[in-house]
Structure 1
Amino acid sequence: MARITDINQQAIANEYYRRVVATSEHLQVVIMSIPPGGEVGSETHPDNDQALYLVAGSGTSVLDGDEQPFAAGDIVVVPAGTKHNFIASSDEPLKIITTYGPAHHPDGLIHKTKAEADAQEN
C-alpha cells in the first residue's frame, strides 16, 4: 500500500515532464508538468485506462479528434484504445496528476523532459 500526502502540492512543485509516484498491481499514479506551448503528443494506450486531473494551468484535451477545453479542476477519463493528446495553451504549465490502470510505466520512473521520454519510448 502507498499513501501519498500533499499530491496537489507535489504536482505543482514538480518540474519534470513525468514522475511515477506510486505503483500497485492494477493502478499507477504519475505527476506531469507540460510547459506552456507544449503537449503530451498524440498517443494511444491499447491496454491502459487513464484518468488525468488538472491541478493547474489550462489547455486543450483531444480524444479521438474531439477537442475540448481542459482547465484546473477538470478530470478527463481516457478509455484504453483512445487516441489522445493534452496541449498546454496558456502561459503557465499544465500540472497533471494522472492514473493508469493497469500500471503503464516502470515503478519509480522519471523523465525530466518530453524529449527524454520520447527517446526512451521509441
Structure 2
Amino acid sequence: MTEKSFSIDGNVQHFTIADVAQENSDFRKVLWTGEHAQIVVMTVPVGGEIGDEVHPETDQILTFVSGTGHADLNGETHPIEAGDQCAVPAGAQHNFRNTGDEPLILYTIYSPPEHAAGGAFATKEEADTAEAAGEDNPPQA
C-alpha cells in the first residue's frame, strides 16, 4: 500500500487520499475521525449505490477518484466522473449510483462525523445492517 500516514498526539494524520481511496476495496472505510469532521473512503461496485439518504445535521463533501455514475441531489440527477466533487448540505436528500463498468471510487468528508470511528464494511449490506443495529454511530462529543 502506498498510503502515507503519520500521527502527532494520536490525532493529526496525513494521507495521499487518492491512493488510499484507489486501494480501498471496502464499500465504506473510516480513515480518520475528529471532533468536527470525518474522512471516509468508499468503493461502490458496478450497479451499486450509496443509498438514498438525508443527513439532518451533517454536511458532506464527496470527491470522485475513478469510475462514472449519477448523483441524485434533491430530485435532480447529474452525471459524475473522476475529478468531480459534490457538496451536500445537511438536510439534502441524496444518492450516488455507479452506472459505469468499473467501481465508483470516492472519498468523502462529513462534518460533523456521521459514522463510527474506525468503521469498515466490505459491502453496503454490512454497512446497512450495522447502522440499523446502532453499531455505526458517530462518537459523541
TM-score tier after normalising by the smaller chain length: over 0.9
Question: What is the letter of the counterpart of residue 58 of structure 1?
Answer: T
Query: What is the aligned partner in structure 1 of residue 120 from structure 2?
Result: 110
Match of 1:95 in 2: 105
Q: Distance in 2 between matches of 1:2 and 1:32?
A: 21
SS of the residue 1:107 aligns to: coil
1:18 and 2:23 aligned: no
Pick one of 70, 80, 83 that aligns with 1:73. 83
SS across alignment from 2:53: coil
TM-score, structure 1 normalization: 0.97
Match in the other structure for 1:42:
52
TM-score (norm 2): 0.84
**CA deviation map 1:24-63 (0-9, x unaligned):** 1100000000001100110000010000000011100001
Superposition deviation, residue 120 in structure 1 = 1.2
Report whether the alignment pairs 1:59 with 2:73: no
Aligned letter for 1:73? G
1:5 deviates by: 2.3
What percent identity do the matched residue pairs reach? 43
Aligned length in residues: 122
Residue 31 (structure 1) aligns with: 41
Q: CA deviation at 1:6?
A: 1.6
* Paired residues of 1:2 and 1:22 also in contact (CA < 8 A): no
Q: CA deviation at 1:7?
A: 1.2
Displacement of 1:4 after TM fit?
Answer: 2.5
Q: Secondary structure at the match of 1:10?
A: helix
1:2 shift after superposition: 2.4
Unaligned runs of 5+ in 1: none
